Amino acid sequence: MLRAVHIFPKFPNLDKIEKLRKKYDSLYGLIPPHITLVFPFESDRSLADLHTHFVASVDKVRPFKLCVNGITATSDNYLFLNVTEGSNKIKDLHDRLYTGILRGFLNEQIPYTPHITVGRFPYTAALERAFAVTQGFSETFECYVTEITVESIKDDQSSVIEFTVPLGINDFTK
């Protein structure tokens, strides 16, 4: 089964991200806006094994503030909403999750940059047009990240939530 791990931010103004995604992202309506921590992977590990790994990986990670703002175009034809606060915490989560039973799934050839994808394009000219239109998009989005979510991905690319893991469940220094 194909699975991935995400942060699903709970921004009060999330509808503004969804408006962009509806126009530019082919996954709009199939998965909510998200920051991918573990990219889609196929594994025969049981859900219980994965749950144990994820709980152990994040048990001492405390909830943190997330802020996103500004649009970036990538060389592989995506539009990203940039993480402007919380990036180091997200990178730490990413690194923690890709240990143990998931170590073999890490693609070390691609540097990890936390972001929310708001557009996917088949060719560069379409990306450039969308990027020009979105340069005026200056909305700021803020919330606290308190959990990670494990999803399975159906054949139609829709997301099915399997479970969530709260951050800091064994951190008694709060």
Interatomic CA distance for residues 26 and 32, integer angstroms:
12
Weakly modelled stretches of the chain, pLDDT under 50: 172-174
Question: What confidence tens digit (pLDDT) does each residue in 19-66 have?
Answer: 999 999 999 999 999 999 999 999 888 899 999 999 999 988 999 999
What domains can you pick out in the chain, each with its CATH number? 2-166 (3.90.1140.10)
pLDDT at residue 44, rounded to an integer: 85
Interatomic CA distance for residues 160 and 71, integer angstroms:
27
Interatomic CA distance for residues 74 and 6, integer angstroms:
20
Cα–Cα distances in Å, from 49 out to 7, 53, 144, 164?
Answer: 20, 6, 27, 14
Q: E strands, the chain, where?
A: 2-7, 35-42, 64-73, 78-85, 115-120, 140-145, 147-153, 159-166
pLDDT at residue 174, rounded to an integer: 42
pLDDT at residue 173, rounded to an integer: 47
pTM: 0.93
